[in-house]
Amino acid sequence: MSLKACLFDMDGVIVDTAHYHFKAWKRLAAELGIELDENFNEQLKGISRVDSLERILDKGKLILDGQTKLKLMEKKNHWYLEFIENMTPGEILPGALDLLQWLKENSILTGLGSSSRNAKIILEKTGLNIWFDVVVDGSMITFSKPDPEVFIKGAAMFGIPSSEIVVFEDALAGVQAAKAGGFMVVGIGEPNVLGDADLVISSLGQLRPQELFRLIEER
């Protein structure tokens, strides 16, 4: 086996959009009389809009009908789109462009595997769209992380088995999804949160790309 491709989550891995999600969810929760803090926000990373809303409603012990939930999600997304409207390449996280360029130079395919339905918009605004051979976003999947569907679809689009692909994730749900799909995983964040990953680093800028070959070779 050899390293053939890499799949990246988006928020918190290659671009800094997680705070926009939190700002929008916090505003929505406040309207519902629910207080959100940064610790609770960790539960919302890497999961779908539907699952995020359900966790917030559970926190507030609220039971709402489907139509009301749909309107709340639309409101949250409207605010989120307003927040990201002025995104620039300056919000690409440290090390991301260098790694993407290195992968291209070494003929390793790159893909995005994100639960966000706005992934393509963000890639365009930051100029990152030119770097990805494959994009799987929230509009293309039925099940959100920790279900491995988003990464399995990415592997299928590559035409490469999961055993030869490394996934990059910053959320526990994402790490669990990748492991469930048979991928090796690099966690971006804290070891106490992402300990199930095969390698944990603080940012892509801390990665020595050659380590990716070792992950595949030693599996």
Residue 11 known to be catalytic:
yes
Q: If you compute the radius of gyration of the chain from its CA atoms, what whole number of angstroms results?
A: 17
169, 186 Cβ separation under 8 angstroms: yes
CA dihedral angle for residue 60, residue 149, residue 113, residue 36, rounded to 10 degrees: 10
The residues, ordered by sequence, that sit 6+ positions from 23 with a Cβ below 8 Å of its Cβ are 79, 83
pLDDT per residue as tens, the chain (219 positions): 799 999 999 988 999 887 888 999 999 999 999 999 988 988 887 778 899 999 999 999 999 999 999 999 999 999 999 998 889 999 999 999 999 999 999 999 999 999 888 899 999 999 999 999 999 998 999 998 899 999 999 999 999 999 999 999 998 999 999 999 999 999 999 999 898 999 999 999 999 999 999 888 887
CATH number of 5-15+89-217: 3.40.50.1000
Bridge partners (DSSP) of residue 8 are 112, 168
pLDDT at position 75 = 96
Domain ranges for the chain: 5-15+89-217, 18-84
Residue 147 known to be catalytic:
no
Of all helices (H) and strands (E), which one includes residue 112? strand 109-113
The single residue of 9, 137, 147, 170 carrying the catalytic annotation is 9
Q: What gap in Å lies between CA 43 and CA 1, rounded to an integer?
A: 34
CATH number of 18-84: 1.10.150.240
Beta strands 134-136 and 109-113 are parallel
The single residue of 11, 147, 170, 198 carrying the catalytic annotation is 11
Q: What gap in Å lies between CA 51 and CA 67, rounded to an integer?
A: 15
For the whole model, what pTM was predicted? 0.83
